[in-house]
Amino acid sequence: MKQPRGTQDFLPPASERFWALEKLGADIFERAGYGRAITPMFEDTDLFERGVGEATDIVNKEMYTFKDRSDHSLTLRPEGTASVMRAIVTHHLWDNGLPIKLYYDAAMFRYERPQKGRFRQHHQLGIEAVGSEDPALDAEVIEIGHNLLREAYVGPVALLLNSMGHRGPNCRDRYLPALRAFLEQHREELDADCKRRMVVNPLRVFDCKVPADQAILANAPMLNDFICDDCRAHLAAVQGYDGLVEEIGGPALPGIGFGLGIERILLAQEAAGAGTAPAVLDCYVIPLEQAARSEAVRLMRRMREAGLAADMAYVERGLKTQLKHADRTGARFAALIGEKELAVGVVTMRDMTSGEQNEVPLDEATSWLGEHAS
RNA sequence: GUGGCGUUAGCUCAGCCUGGUUAGAGCGUCGGGUUGUGGUCCCGAAGGCCGGGGGUUCAAGUCCCCUACGCCACCCCA
């Protein structure tokens, strides 16, 4: 049995890093005033067909679309923004004041050919800020994304800021012809992929990974030189904040947001050499004989009730093996209870780092651990 | 959806080109050396429809085809 193509299981210790990222995101978002939006995993198909952006491959060939028993066409969400916007409209959230600030942490589904860092089910952390054109809000969203990456990574993060301007004859529309003309001049110096992209989607040429091509592109016309005065002023305003370098039936509200792929951040963490912090127990309780088991269970329970992390050996094996298991859990202490201990009502607390052992009365073991485990 | 490379023990891989008795290694697991003491060391054991199916052959892990899955490039994107 294997999981379906393009899906994956996250198990310890990988799941711990996954969960840590989710917690980090939630913490950063909520501290900035964003509330979590939990929306359905599937929506009416036409929401995505209208909302995602007309001609992208996501709509054209990547959607998990199916019909339910009532013949309604539904689609597993391929991205987060459309659902959040729909929820805003459904619940008239603008009535509670603007801007509306929401975040999501959810699985996305796209029927694609899997690759490293690319899956049929993946997960995104994202935020949406709707209802204000204040450049400070743009800056906030960018800053939050930047902070999330910075805090998640163990390597440096570079933030590059640019503006696409807005669609229109005196703004973004002037840029593409200029870029094409530039690329045409350097046609023979570019590699085959770029020559093709040049015609199909000129902006994609900037994604080229060939160093020689990148050198040429450094001299390409700059988008910033072509966008209109209003757009330029807005970008400048965004840049000005804290030194950053880089339609569904509701009212017309401006919006800004981002989505970050959890799997890709995990990949970047690995590339940066991030280790996995092992789960750490305060104490691993080891009953040495059958007769000590119930006392061991009671001891463990008391530790847990005191807010300490405790586990115990549920499988009968030699002490040698039990200590090996204790070691693997990363436990700070091992609590040994056997005949000897039971006879005098103590427990042997073994410091797993130093090997030092102390006999502690059973009813004091929890408070003793509380003092020594920190 | 297109092209390329892969798939052998729980994990990482060797063996395949030049078919031939019981398919190997390291790590991990379990046990023992130490019948109540881990992280080092030594010894031992378990663990494999060689991804699945079909074909060629006296004989297939090895050669051929199909298929599933993974990875890389394209497309696109997180």
pLDDT along chain A (374 residues), means of 10: 86 87 96 97 89 60 88 93 90 90 95 90 94 88 92 80 77 84 85 80 78 78 82 75 53 82 89 70 92 94 96 87 88 93 95 92 96 87
Closest nucleotide to residue A113 (Cα to C1')?
B1
Beta bridge partners of A297: none
Strands A64-67 and A73-76: antiparallel
The Å distance, CA of A5 to C1' of B7, is 15
Q: Determine the distance between A349 (CA) and B43 (C1') in angstroms.
A: 32
- pLDDT tens, position by position, A205-242: 887 777 677 778 888 888 878 888 888 888 777 765 54
Asked if residues A304 and A281 have their Cβ atoms less than 8 Å apart, the reply is: no
Amino acid, res. A193? D
Q: Which of residues 7-66 of A touch strand B (CB under 7 A)?
A: 53, 56-58, 61-62
Angstrom distance, A1 CA to B68 C1': 12
Give the strand pairing for A73-76 and A283-287: unpaired
Given this model, what pLDDT does residue A276 score? 62
The ranges assigned to domains in chain A are 14-163+244-271, 165-226, 283-373
Judge whether residue A107 contacts strand B, using its CB and a 7 Å cut-off. no
CA distances from A118 to A63, A121, A122, A210 (A): 15, 9, 8, 22
Q: How many angstroms is C1' of B69 away from CA of A213?
A: 35
Structure tokens belonging to residue A27: 């913490």
Strand B within 7 A of A259 CB: yes
Q: Give the pLDDT confidence score for residue A162 in this predicted structure.
A: 76
CB-contacted nucleotides of strand B (7 Å):
1-3, 29-32, 34-39, 68-78
User: A14-163+244-271 and A283-373: same fold?
Assistant: no
Phi, psi (deg, nearest 5) at residue A72: -80, 140
Per-residue pLDDT, A247: 62
Contact between the CB of A124 and strand B at under 7 Å: yes
- In A 273-302, which Cβ lie closer than 7 Å to strand B? 288
> What pLDDT is attached to residue A73?
93
- A356: nearest nucleotide, CA–C1' criterion: B37
Whether CB of A92 is under 7 Å from strand B: the answer is no
Asked whether residue A185, judged by its CB, lies under 7 Å from any atom of the DNA or RNA strand B, the reply is: no
- In angstroms, how far is B68 C1' from A14 CA? 26
Nucleic strand B near CB of residue A196 (< 7 Å): yes
Give residue A169's pLDDT.
Answer: 79
Q: CATH homologous superfamily for A14-163+244-271?
A: Bira Bifunctional Protein; Domain 2 (3.30.930.10)
Residues 6+ apart with CB under 8 A from A56: none
Residue A123 has a CB neighbour count (10 Å cut-off) of 21
- Structure confidence at residue A51 (pLDDT): 64
| Torsion, Cα of A288, A291, A295, A301 (10° steps) | 70
A316 CA, B31 C1': Å apart: 14
Q: State the DSSP string of A200-269.
A: H-GGGGGG---HHHHHHHTTSPPGGGTS-HHHHHHHHHHHHGGG-----SS----EEEEEEEHHHHHHHH
pLDDT in the model for residue A17 = 87
Q: Which residue's CA is nearest to the C1' of nucleotide B70?
A: A115
Domain A283-373: give its CATH architecture: 3-Layer(aba) Sandwich (3.40)
pLDDT of A245: 38
Residues 63-82 of chain A within 7 A of strand B, judged by CB, are 79
Burial of A273 (0-12, 13-18, 19+ CB in 10 A): exposed
As a rounded value in angstroms, the CA-to-C1' distance for A59 and B52 is 34
How many Å apart are A73 CA and B65 C1'? Answer: 40
